């Protein structure tokens, strides 16, 4: 089963995340010549790179007050509302306090403790940044041929070179201690 990562299985579900073949590092640069996901910590093991999607590319956002604010996902061309930009992939795992990280997408419809964690195994969708009120995309669960996929979809028409934003949800911004109390892995104080 080369090319497939079998994530944690639940009795009723079979979770598979498919990765595309990895090109040479030179191919991991976008049309502007700016290094893409290689700089984001993705490497050949993680199967990252902007070769996965033709409608998006990675750009370094910049430095604010001496702090590198990282990378973001941008459109290469105009994208119509409702277009799927890509699949948010990762390892299916149970939510824990220690692993309640910034790259997890929960699946409350299936099980509130299940998370697609893109920290170690992910793709470009993990680089989509948050916006409180100007988000232009959403992550949604899609069932296809018995498998559950988390897809990123444009919620409005996007212009060329526009940054893609989603809303991370209220839970993401909770202090870590509060999240742990809610998960039952820390005493309520």
- 87 confidence band (pLDDT: 50, 70, 90): confident
Count Cα atoms within 13 angstroms, Cβ side, for 55: 17
Domains and CATH numbers, the chain: 27-183 (2.170.270.10)
At 102 the pLDDT is 59
- Reported as a single tens digit per residue, the pLDDT across 51-77 is 334 556 666 666 556 556 677 888 888
CB 163 within 8 A of CB 127: no
Whether the per-residue pLDDT at 122 is higher than 60: the answer is yes
Residue 170: how many other CB atoms lie within 10 Å: 7
What are the CA-CA distances from residue 85 to residues 28, 57, 130 (Å)? 18, 11, 16
Q: Which of 68, 32, 34, 56 is nearest to 165 (CA)?
A: 56
Angle at 182 between CA 181 and CA 187, to 5 degrees: 20
Rounded to two decimals, what is the model's pTM?
0.60
142-151 — which CB contacts under 8 Å span 24+ positions? 146/14, 147/14, 147/15, 147/16, 148/13, 148/15, 148/107, 148/110, 149/87, 150/87, 150/88, 150/89, 150/105, 150/107, 150/116, 151/84, 151/86, 151/87, 151/88
Q: Pull the structure tokens for residue 131.
A: 């916006």
- Reported as a single tens digit per residue, the pLDDT across 89-108 is 877 777 666 555 556 666 65
């Amino acid at each position: 089963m080369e090319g497939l990562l079998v994530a944690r299985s639940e009795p009723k579900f079979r979770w598979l995340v498919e990765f595309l073949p990895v090109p040479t590092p030179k191919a991991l640069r976008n049309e502007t010549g700016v290094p893409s996901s290689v700089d984001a910590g993705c490497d050949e093991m993680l199967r990252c790179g902007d070769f996965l999607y033709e409608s998006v590319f990675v750009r370094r956002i910049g430095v604010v007050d001496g702090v590198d604010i990282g990378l973001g996902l941008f459109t290469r061309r105009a994208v119509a509302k409702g277009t799927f930009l890509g699949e948010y992939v990762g390892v299916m795992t149970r939510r824990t306090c220690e692993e309640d990280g910034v790259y997890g997408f929960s699946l409350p419809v299936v099980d509130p403790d299940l998370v697609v964690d893109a920290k170690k195994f992910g793709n470009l969708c993990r680089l989509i940044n948050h916006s409180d009120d100007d988000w232009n995309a959403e992550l949604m669960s899609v069932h296809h041929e018995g498998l559950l996929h988390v897809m990123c979809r444009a919620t409005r028409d996007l212009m060329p070179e526009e940054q893609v934003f989603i809303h991370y949800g209220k839970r993401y911004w909770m202090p870590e201690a509060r999240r742990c109390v809610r998960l039952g892995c820390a005493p309520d104080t």
